[in-house]
A = this chain, B = another copy of it.
Amino acid sequence: MMKNIFASRHANDASSASSSSSDSLIDNPLGNVRAVIDAVLPAVDHGRFAVKCVAGERMRVRAHCFTDGHDVLRVQLCWRAQDQTEFREVPMKPLGNDVWEAAFSPPALGRYVYTVEAWVDPFESWRSEMTRRVDPDDVRIASQVGALEIAAAAGRAEGADRTALQRWASELDAVAATPGSDAVSLKALALDEELADTARRHPDRRHAARYPVEFPLVADRERARFSTWYELFPRSAGTEPGVHGTFKDVEARLPAIAEMGFDVLYFPPIHPVGRMQRKGPNNKLVSGPEDVGSPWAIGAAEGGHKDILAALGTAEDFRHLVARATEHGLEIALDIAFQCAPDHPYVKAHPDWFRWRPDGTVQYAENPPKKYQDIYPFNFESDDWRGLWAELKSVLDHWVGEGVRIFRVDNPHTKAFPFWEWAIGEIKREHPDVIFLAEAFTRPKVMHRLAKLGFSQSYTYFTWRNTKEELVAYFTELSTAPGIDYFRPNVWPNTPDILHEQLQGGEASVYMSRLVLAATLSASYGIYGPAYELRDHLPRDPGTEEYLNSEKYQLRHWNHDDPESLAPFIARVNRIRRENPALHWDRTLRFLHVDNPQLLAYAKSSEDGANVVVTVVNLDPHTPQSGWIGLEPGNVGVSPPSRSFQMHDVLSGQRFIWQGDWHYVRLDPQNAPAHIFVVRRRHGDERDFDYFL
């Protein structure tokens, strides 16, 4: 019954219909709709793009709803999987100030939509007035009015509900009509709770308003929100200096990488490297016959984006590696760099996918006067853009077929935006578990657009946010609406392209503090190793962020047995991340007041509030710093707030008892540049003891 009413209308709410012109309102069959839905949140560009969540999580939706006068609204959150037709409903509750809220949990991966329906409810309005009536005559007349509403509800009901409501209506009407009947017991009958619930099941929704937008939602798997990345160049995984590493060599490294606590292992491109215009070590324009070139110069005579560089191994070796990684709790992420070396097979097979110049050469990538002669970009304005799109998607399909479910996309902002929306949408329609990380270090609105278009995670400016003021401003922005609803940050202290000047001194305290910041400020972070744990810190030139002897252009050999390796420290931090749900979320971040500009303190809590982690980082790599942190016990679940509570530094193992609002902290970078406190609330005291009462 209700379903029919519900399904028969779509976006016909006169008070909310998009772009309705006012003079059509009187022609609208629902001009007498009095409920107003002014806004539905979250929303990305008014529903143009999907909000992101994780399957199984509580997805909270709010609506701003009201009506004229004092009548009572009922508001329903309506949601469905995108490929279903029937909406499910959850009653929304008023939070005050005309804000209503409800939540639902998308049961599985995939796309959903949600919207809101609201109506002025005559039964609830009558009931609300009745609770406030005192005059006996008023109670009697109002009871007769109510009997009519209840009879109407009976007419919409069937079976036992119908019978119960009919009986209630008759009795109420009869008692009200009896001269001199007792108004107090009449009012009690009118306000019967159980019967009211029965009536509520059969509301009159003929005049319901429905928000005209169905807001899309993508439910990902948890790794889209919480992930720990390790990047390495497989070709540098060889056991001997100067010998090209292989997938087999990488397999040997898996236990150590898993031991450090990572769950995503990401490789730069693994395809044949172009020979034409190949770059030499340190980005030299000329290369020798032994030089391996840049893996991002993709494609040579032997193959392109779907092929594997022979020196790394075979397709079979790759599949074996993927399987072994899985056994260690690691997923392999591949780099998707949609560009070609001049000798990529595409250049001959599909000349129309490139821009040709009057001299018969292909327009290589350039930003004058800079030139990238080893890279040919695709021309997304090609007349055969459909052919190009289809081929590029088939590259993704190929690697999905090989078992890859995570892609790090190289410079997506230099490819046409509509392509990404289409390609990611298509891939995720068939494989909703696929995760895309956008490597776009570009202007803010461009990065946000890519996230809106469908990228699951995004690189950030973290690398260049170093002072307290910078970190507070940036992570406040990242953890609040509207960005928090679609832009999932993945923060990196270093990448093969970025050896930040802070790291160029090589101090362990800097490497440790930046790692702690990344690991605790953001639910997803990554490092480019082994350069990070072994503190490779020399730049190619002064003033550059390029590594000296960068793996981008040559093989490197790493001493994993270095006793100064930060691997044990990283392992400890990553274990803390795994064990504390508070660190799996970005939304709950809040910064704490500290009276020292070198100390940064912030709290995060799990969605249910049970787990609270307070991190304090000394941003000064050389000098001990101390200060007072403002942390109100009531805000970390300590009740009553006057109680003492334990702060367990899970990094050092130390435990401190705190009480009140202000707390002294001192951090010596030579020992530990950070505290990662888990708040341990006391769950028992003498009042919980059996004989206390």
Report which A residues bind B (CB closer than 8 A): 14-16, 18-19, 21-23, 25-26, 28, 31-34, 36, 38-39, 45-48, 64, 66-70, 97-98, 120, 129, 132-135, 138, 141, 144-145, 148, 207, 213-214, 357-359, 366-369, 377, 380-382, 385-386, 389-390, 413-419, 421-422, 424-426, 429, 443-446, 448-449, 454
How far is B48's CA from A21's CA once the two chains are assembled, in angstroms? 9
Given the complex, which residues of B lie within 8 Å of A426, measured CB to CB?
22-23
A417 touches B15 (CB 8 A): yes
Residue from B67, B380, B422 within 8 A of A68 (CB atoms)? B380
Q: A19 touches which one: B48, B135, B446 (CB < 8 A)? A: B48
- Which chain B residues border A26 with CB–CB below 8 Å? 386, 389-390, 422
Give Cα distance in the complex from A389 to B417, angstroms. 48
User: What is the CA–CA distance of A134 and B22 in the complex, to the nearest angstrom?
Assistant: 59
* B358–A145 touching, CB < 8 Å: yes
**7 additional A-B residue pairs with CB within 8 Å, beyond A22-B424, A66-B446, A97-B443:** A15-B417, A26-B390, A31-B418, A129-B366, A132-B368, A133-B368, A134-B368
Q: Is the CB of B359 within 8 A of A98?
A: no
Identical subunits present: 2
List the B side residues contacting A381 at CB < 8 Å.
32, 34, 120, 207
Q: Are A138 and B368 in contact (CB under 8 A)?
A: yes
A642 and B445 CA atoms in complex are apart in Å by 38
Q: Quote the shortest CB–CB distance from A221 to chain B (angstroms).
A: 19
Q: Are A32's CB and B385's CB within 8 A?
A: yes
Q: Can you list 18 pairs linking A and B with CB atoms under 8 Å apart? A: A19-B47, A19-B214, A22-B424, A22-B454, A23-B426, A26-B389, A26-B422, A31-B385, A31-B418, A32-B382, A32-B416, A33-B416, A34-B417, A97-B444, A98-B443, A129-B366, A132-B369, A141-B358
Which single residue of chain B is at the shortest CB-CB distance from A445? B98
A386 contact set on B, CB distance < 8 A: 26, 31
Inter-chain contacts of A367 with B (CB < 8 A)? 70
Contact, CB under 8 Å: A38 / B97: no
Tell me if A's interface is mostly helix, strand, loop or mixed.
mixed
Contacts of A414 in B (CB 8 A): 68-69
Q: Which of B67, B133, B144, B207 interacts with A359 by CB under 8 Å?
A: B144
- Whether B66 and A449, one on each chain, are in contact in the complex, defined by CB atoms closer than 8 angstroms, is yes
Most chain B CB within a 10 A radius of its CB, from A358, A382, A386, A429 = A358
A449 to B97: give the CA distance in the assembly, Å: 13
Beta-carbon nearest neighbor of A414 in chain B: B69
In the bound complex, how far is the Cα of B66 from the Cα of A64, in angstroms?
A: 33
Contact assessment for A145 and B31 in the assembled complex, using a CB-CB cutoff below 8 Å: no
Q: Which residues of chain B come closer than 8 Å to A366, judged between CB atoms?
A: 129
Q: By the criterion CB–CB under 8 Å, are A68 and B369 in contact? A: no
Q: Which residue of B lies closest to A113 (CB)?
A: B19
User: What chain B residues lie within 8 Å of A145 (beta carbons)?
Assistant: 357-358
Ranked nearest first, the 5 interchain pairs of A and B with the lowest CB-CB distance are: A22-B425, A46-B46, A132-B368, A25-B422, A144-B358
In the complex the two chains form, what is the Cα distance from A284 to B45 in whole Å?
Answer: 54
**Contact A369 to B425, CB < 8 A, known contacts A418-B15, A445-B66:** no
Report the minimal beta-carbon distance from A477 to chain B, rounded to whole angstroms.
14
With A32-B416, A64-B445, A358-B144 known as contacts, the answer to whether A134 contacts B97 (CB < 8 A) is no
Contacts of A148 in B (CB 8 A): 358
Asked if A22 meets B66 with Cβ closer than 8 Å, knowing A34-B380, A145-B358, A368-B132, the reply is no
Q: Collect the chain B residues with CB atoms within 8 Å of residue A14's CB.
A: 418
Which residues of chain B come closer than 8 Å to A64, judged between CB atoms?
Answer: 445
Chain B residues with Cβ below 8 Å from A419 are: 31
Closest B residue to A130 using CB positions: B368
Inter-subunit contact A23/B429 (CB<8 Å): yes
* A357 touching B425, Cβ below 8 Å: no
In contact, A23 and B425 (Cβ under 8 angstroms): yes
- Measured CA separation A98–B413 after assembly (Å): 14
Contact A36 B449 (CB under 8 A): yes
A454–B21 CA distance with the chains assembled, in angstroms = 12
Nearest CB of B to A85, in Å = 15
Given A19-B48, A22-B424, A368-B129, A68-B417 contact (CB < 8 Å)? yes
Q: Are A445 and B97 in contact (CB under 8 A)?
A: yes
Q: Is the CB of B415 within 8 A of A68?
A: yes
| Residues of the B chain whose Cβ atoms lie less than 8 Å from the Cβ of A214 | 19
A36-B66 in contact given A98-B443, A144-B358, A389-B31 (Cβ < 8 Å): no
> A207 contacts which chain B residues (CB < 8 A)?
381
Docked CA distance A218–B601 (Å): 49
